[in-house]
Structure 1
Amino acid sequence: MKKFAALAALGVLATACSHGGAALPPAGPAGLAPGSSGAPSTMGARTLRPKSITAPAGWAATATGALALANASDLGQLDRGKTVEVTLALQMRNADAVKSAIASGQRMSRDAFVAQYAPSSSQVSAAVGYLQSQGFSNVQAAPNNMLVTASAGAATVEKAFNTSLHAFSVNGKSYFSNTQPAYVPTSLGGNVVAVLGLTNFPGLQVHPTTRPISGAQPSVFDGNGNPQTTACTKNVNTTTGTPVCPRFYDPAAFSIAYDVAGTPPATNTQLAIFTEGDVGTAISDFRSNETNFGMPYVGINVLHVGTPSADTSGNTEWTLDMTYSSGMAYNLSQIDLYNAPSLSFTDLVRAINRWASDDIAPVMNASVGGCEVFPYESGDMLAGDMVLVEAAAQGQTLFASTGDTGAYCGAAGVPPNGGVGGAPLIEWPAASPYAVAVGGTDLFSNVDGTYLGEDAWQSGGGGLSQFEYSPYWESPAQPVGTTPAGLTFRGAPDIAYDAGIETGALLWQGGTEYITGGTSLASPMAAGVYARMQSAHGNALGFAAPLLYRVFGNSTPQQIAGPPETELIGPFHDILQGTNGLYTALPKYDYTTGLGSIDVARLSAALH
């Protein structure tokens, strides 16, 4: 019932979909699920696969439940000829073994993963054969065998998966969604675990907040829009009398504050970014930021995952992601834009799968997210987590923003960028145990730009998942008593960087300079920093999350800095002040800033 209360709070109607097929509980060091007494770990946030659905005779249940859109006008059955692109997620093999490999820090190639853990060629053939027999066209299996995509008319899709598709109107815009769960023939049961693409509702949100620089506060920038180097006083450190400087930052200023310069540039590392729509203007604005901030030119490769769309609504986001991931990494070998046609969860899963299957860029940024309940119900969470398991096994790391609605879910009817309301849930993909969730802070620096202290950003996403288990590397760090007895659920964020608009980043768009903030700023900074460390270590560091928690656990608190009060624990700035509306910053790990922000030079040295 907890899940349905969350659904109701978010204005989502879930019908006949009390399934348990969702995320992958991460294995412990010995390959066992957290809290297990010796039984093999299973796949699914609650169970191996949906068990509370009684499938009709001849059919098998999948993780794709019904997701009728609340607060929407149901226009009835979808046009029979409407083309719908579906993606079948196939069950990976030997899941416990690959999770144990991740837990032990092993890395493998894409070919090795496919040979041992990806769905087999016979699984792919069975799925492809069924789709073809039902009249689907453009049937294509991903090179890593994880997904099979195909197209057909709505009537064909309904018949093939024993479901129902309806048209909806939401705020004057048209969408479709399945109003019944999706099933597969019993011959495919245990093979096809989710049917994706049965809704085209854009469940993902982009997070950046922007303001014109003129009239913005604090006004501590020079005539060129760069941070002042002279005294700036909003508060004063009562211990030392040092001015506390809330200032705007460019990539060079962030590099000083977070001690980046001591780590060599990321000249040997490619970095991937999830984007959507027509990114031409975003790339042009990125070039302006390179020039205005004195950054080196970095080549960009746009990889379309699906049919390109003309949407430009996310251009601020993509410009921000390119500028601050590249600015922190400095001199990347290349930026790869994995460009989706929409902001649906399914298109995100397909883009992440392409990145994992390509196995070229060890770091990816996704400054998008949506309330975790949506991908749980649609099956995108299960499919996406399996893909992220592959990426982690190959030594790749996805950095994902936790959102800008504090401890509450960003969903329809919940205002972005600091809105409070809805259910206390977290956003996916940041909720995935196999991603690094990046939250937000307010960053304060000394007059010379060096680090002074941080507090938790009031709108930074963070809290406990209702649908994902905590990975073994995170669960020991979580505050005692914050999860149900005998269970550990995924907490977010893992780390945090500057996100506050009053201590935000400078960004050029269309020839005009703006101030921007949000976890959309924090996440690409974290991705750029890790790309820089990867390059310094020969791209051999692997999946970042276990490394971060290991270093934190092996570090000793050193001294309190600030204000705001911040304790240095090894390379981490443990943030001790602030709240995100429900959770408060505390010593060590907390649900506002995770382990804290990172002193890059110290962490890079600790990883030797």
Structure 2
Amino acid sequence: MNRSLRNYFAAAMIFGVTGAQAGIPYPTAATPKAIDRGLMKSLASSSEISVTVALRPRDPNGAEELLSALTTPDDPQFHKFLTPQQFAAKFGPSAADVAKVIATLKGYGLRVEQATPFTLRATGTPAKIESAFHVSLHQFDVPAQGGAAAYSYHAPATPPTAPDAVAGLISGIVGLDTKPHFRPHVQKAPAELSAVEGQQQQSGNPSLINPLGSLTVADFAQYYDVKPLYAAGVAGNGRTLGIITLANFTPSDAFHYWTRVGLAVASNRMTLVNIDGGPGAPSDVSGSDETTLDVEQSGGLAPGARMIVYLAPNTNQAFFDAFAKAVNDNTADTVSVSWGAWEGFDQSTGFTNSLHSLLVQAAVQGQSFFAAAGDDGAYDVDRAIGVQAGGVTVDYPASDPAITAAGGTTLAGKQAFTVNGRPLVINVAKERVWGWDYLDPVCKKRKLDPIDCGIFSVGGGGGVSIVFGIPDYQTVTKRKGAVPIPGIKTSAKGETVQGARLPAGFQGRNVPDISANADPNTGYSMDYTSNIHGFRTTTFNGGTSFVAPQFNGVTALLCQKANSRLGLINNPLYSLVRANAGKKAGGPIRSIATGDNWFYKGAQGYSPAAGAGVLDVTKLATEPGF
């Protein structure tokens, strides 16, 4: 039996997916237009659907203040994290309020159960759901396209509202829209933009072990100074990594990768948790490569850690439920997610506010969460949906201030191309912000503009949120006082951002927080079983989806060394940025001062292109808060 078949049957035994339907395709510019089939209640009146009802926490401002205190090294409450039970007792809705919401929803004929202290699951026919939340649900069909199968989803024609009697107790109604919104942030370098005609790119970078495009976790560990921790016996032992993902995968791929790069890991280190029925069988179009690399990278950097992979379908409800499961189980010390969407995708249901409350709870419990900042430069939504004339936008959940956003860089070295039969070498002199505008010489040789060439707007996600205000930790202290980190300041007329208008002088949460190599041209190898091509080791993989799980693994190491969870690392991280402002190089954070992500430029200190910069992990491990 060949390896690809062995992997397939291994996955089938673990997940019980023999003959199961493949996962729902994630959205791309090629996704066909959905066909509206009309009112759902008239098409499937006897079927039942469910929604997750998020309950409003008590004293959310108090929870935010406690989060800050728990992650501020000189605060008396530093690292005195709460359990989920303690958090619920302090900030959860009262038993009377929960009972009132349940009784009210049952009055509409719904079955209601409490899933967590902060969430309910309400189930009923489409007609009953419509009545309870004052919506009309339509069913939509998306035709098959290329290798992507047809699928259906439902969505409301108008925003929902909670029943008047309990509207003040409910923060969100998640699940009325089952359209797949989220995209994986993994990128593959096209042949014409990487090793054309089989030429191997040469790194010219003595800090690396393997050539550019074929890097492994060992290269990350050497380049970003993780190896001294390994030498000291720090490998993530006694710690647990969490991965939240929206596609299934073949677990043996990860074990093959770890063996290939010389790591000894426990055969029983991984636990798989299906959320809301799970995401279906592995497939390329559903994003199984994303899940695979998340597991390989995080588990490879912390080979002694245990792992929990939360596998959810690509729906708003399942994504939310996966976070709720990870937070309320409170088993994972550190968690990463490499899926996202433009932050304005769903502002009518309370989704982002409700998920923010979960992330605050996680931080108060000491859990660290990381999110990929996206691969569309400063124009998060544009390239993914085939639009080229939108505004500057950022990705969610990376834009949430209670998560650490992972941005991207390009490593230094020479990149060799063959264009029209002639060699072309681009020399990247130093690590820079990842933005593929540096490949413009390749495009010019091909007589293509950046759009037709495929380089616009590829790069590390970064910019300013239009949903979340600038958090207190994102300030740079100067002698004249604290001033906000530079963000978008619009004109008096405002600035249109994909249908959302920023007020003049708006200061939002800046993305990313920290960065690392994410450019596919200076990227990584991965082991992956494709449902089309079978098992193979691929090269020139990248995207900020590598960076989020890498920081996930690194944080497990830091937790072991500190003998403590770290919680949200943004407070101590930005304290270091302020403390190191104006100092010479050599500290735990190195600014990325060159390059751009098609709008924002790298800079000394913070920039909404590479965040605070890149880390020296071993030096970081000696700093307060880490």
If the TM-score is normalised by the length of the shorter chain, which range does it land in? 0.7 to 0.9
Residues 1:256 and 2:281 are matched in the alignment: no
Pairing 1:288-327 to 2, within 5 Å after superposition: 288-298=256-266, 299-312=269-282, 313-327=286-300
From 548, 559, 579, the equivalent of 1:534 is 559
Instruction: Tell me which residue corresponds to 1:424.
Output: 392
Deviation digits for residues 484-506 of structure 1, max 9, x if unmatched?
A: 67753111001111110111011
Q: 1:124 to 1:507 in 2, by over 3 A?
A: same
SS of equivalent residue, structure 2 residue 299: helix
Give yes or no for contact 2:213–2:525 (8 Å, CA) kept in 1: no
Q: C-alpha displacement at 1:74, in angstroms?
A: 2.8
Check 1:443–1:412 CA distance in 2 against 1; reply closer, same or farther (3 A cut).
Answer: closer
Please report how far the alpha carbon of residue 76 of structure 1 lies from its aligned counterpart in structure 2 after TM superposition: 1.8
Task: Give the distance between the partners of 1:161 and 1:457, measured in 2 at CA.
Answer: 44
Specify which of 81, 105, 112 is matched with residue 86 of structure 2.
Answer: 112
CA deviation after TM superposition for structure 1 residue 352, in Å: 0.7
Partner residue of 2:418? none
Give the 3-state SS of the residue equivalent to 1:102 in structure 2. Answer: helix
- Opposite residue 356 of structure 2, the aligned amino acid is D
Q: Which structure 2 residues correspond to residues 495-534 of structure 1 after superposition, within 5 A?
A: 495-510=514-529, 511-515=535-539, 516-534=541-559
Unpaired runs of 5+ in structure 1? 1-68, 560-567
**Secondary structure at the counterpart of residue 190 of structure 1:** helix
- 1:171 is displaced (CA, Å) by 5.0
Equivalence for 2:335: 364
SS of the residue corresponding to residue 606 of structure 1 reads coil
Give CA-to-partner distance per residue, 1:226-246, whole Å, 9 cap, x none: x9xxx8549x99xxxx99974
| 1:420 positional shift | 5.3
Task: Quote the residue 2:121 is aligned against.
Answer: 149
Asked whether the 8 Å contact 1:439–1:461 carries over to 2, the reply is yes
- Are positions 1:592 and 2:590 aligned together? no
**Cα distance in 2, alignment partners of residues 171 and 581 from structure 1:** 34
Q: Which residue of 2 aligns with 1:197?
A: 175
Q: Give the aligned partner of residue 401 of structure 1.
A: 372
The answer to whether residue 381 in structure 2 is matched with residue 410 in structure 1 is yes
| Preserved CA contact (<8 Å) 1:556 1:569 | no
C-alpha separation in 2, matches of 1:288 and 1:214:
29
Comparing 177-186 with 587-596, which one deviates more in the overlay? 177-186
User: Structure 2 CA distance, aligned partners of 1:157 and 1:530?
Assistant: 42
Spell out, residue by residue over 1:25-58, the C-alpha distance to the aligned partner (whole angstroms, 9 max, x if none): xxxxxxxxxxxxxxxxxxxxxxxxxxxxxxxxxx
* 3-state SS in 1 of match to 2:431: strand
Whole-angstrom CA distance in 2 between matches of 1:196 and 1:366: 19
Structure 1 residue 168, shift from structure 2 partner: 2.4
The alpha carbon displacement at 1:275 in A equals: 2.1
Aligned ranges for residues 262-277 of structure 1 at < 5 Å?
262-263=228-229, 264-277=234-247
Q: Aligned partners of 2:199, 2:83: CA distance in 1, in Å? A: 47
Counterpart AA for 2:330 = D
Whether 1:379 aligns to 2:350 is: yes
Extract unaligned runs of 5+ from structure 2.
Answer: 1-30, 71-76, 145-150, 415-427, 436-458, 477-482, 491-503, 530-534
CA drift at 1:311? 4.0
Cα shift readout 1:185-213 (whole Å, capped 9, x = no counterpart): 22202101221101001111012123699
CA contact (8 A) 1:403 1:518 kept: yes
Q: How does 1:25-40 map to 2 (within 5 A)?
A: none
* Structure 1 counterpart SS, 2:432: strand
Pick which of 195-204 and 322-331 moved more. Answer: 322-331
**Cα offset for 1:169?**
3.5
Distance in structure 2 (CA, Å) of the matches to 1:602 and 1:402 = 24
Whole-Å separation in 2 of the counterparts to 1:384 and 1:435: 11
Q: Please state how far the C-alpha of 1:120 moved relative to its aligned partner.
A: 2.1
**Residue 212 of structure 1 contacts residue 514 of structure 1 at CA under 8 Å; is this kept in 2?**
no
Deviation at 1:605, TM superposition (A): 1.0
The answer for the alignment partner of 1:482 in structure 2 is: 488
Q: Does residue 97 in structure 1 map to residue 62 in structure 2?
A: yes
Q: Distance in 1 between matches of 2:575 and 2:376?
A: 29
Partner residue in 1 for 2:137: 165
Q: Secondary structure at the match of 1:92?
A: coil
Which one-letter code corresponds to 1:329 in the other structure?
Answer: A
Q: How many corresponding residue pairs?
A: 507
RMSD between aligned residues = 3.2
Counterpart position of 1:553: 578
Assess, with a 3 A threshold, how the Cα gap between structure 1 residues 195 and 545 changes in structure 2: closer, same or farther. Answer: same
> How many Å separate the matches in 2 of 1:84 and 1:527?
34
TM-score, normalized by length of structure 1? 0.77
Tell me the amino acid that sits aligned with residue 537 of structure 2: E
Once the two structures are TM-superposed, the CA of residue 294 in structure 1 deviates from its matched residue by: 1.3
Offset of residue 254 of structure 1: 1.1
Are 2:187 and 2:542, in contact at CA under 8 Å, matched by a contact in 1?
yes
Shift of residue 413 of structure 1? 5.5
TM-superposition CA deviations, 1:491-538 (whole Å, max 9, x none): 100111111011101111234211210011111111111111111111
Whether the 8 Å CA contact 2:279–2:314 is kept in 1: the answer is: no
Equivalent position SS for 1:326: helix
The answer to whether the 8 A contact 1:87-1:196 is kept is yes
Cross-structure match for 1:136: 110
| Distance in structure 1 (CA, Å) of the matches to 2:211 and 2:299 | 25
Q: Assess if the C-alpha contact under 8 Å between 1:493 and 1:591 holds in 2.
A: yes
Q: Which amino acid aligns with 1:267?
A: N
Counterparts of 2:225 and 2:342, CA distance in 1: 34
Q: Which amino acid aligns with 1:454?
A: E
- Could you tell me which amino acid in structure 1 is paired with residue 54 of structure 2? A
Paired residues of 1:405 and 1:420 also in contact (CA < 8 A): no
Could you tell me which amino acid in structure 2 is paired with residue 316 of structure 1?
A: D
- The 3 A distance-change label for structure 1 pair 355 and 426 is same
Change (3 A) 1:569 1:97: farther
In 2 relative to 1, CA 347–580 (structure 1 residues): closer, same or farther, beyond 3 Å?
same
Give the TM-score, by structure 2 length.
Answer: 0.75
What CA distance in whole angstroms lies between the structure 2 residues aligned with 1:452 and 1:604? 28
SS in 2 for 1:386: helix
**1: CA distance between counterparts of 2:69 and 2:606?**
22
- Partners in 1 of 2:209 and 2:336 — Cα distance? 34
1:379/1:170 CA distance change after superposition, 3 Å: farther
1:522–1:219: structure 2 CA closer, same or farther, 3 Å change rule? farther
Worse overlay, 297-306 or 517-526: 297-306
2:412 to 428, 444, 457: 444
Encode CA deviations 1:43-101: one digit per residue, 9 max, x unaligned: xxxxxxxxxxxxxxxxxxxxxxxxxx996433321133342210111110011111111
- Amino acid paired to 2:323: I
Question: SS of the residue aligned with 1:552?
Answer: helix
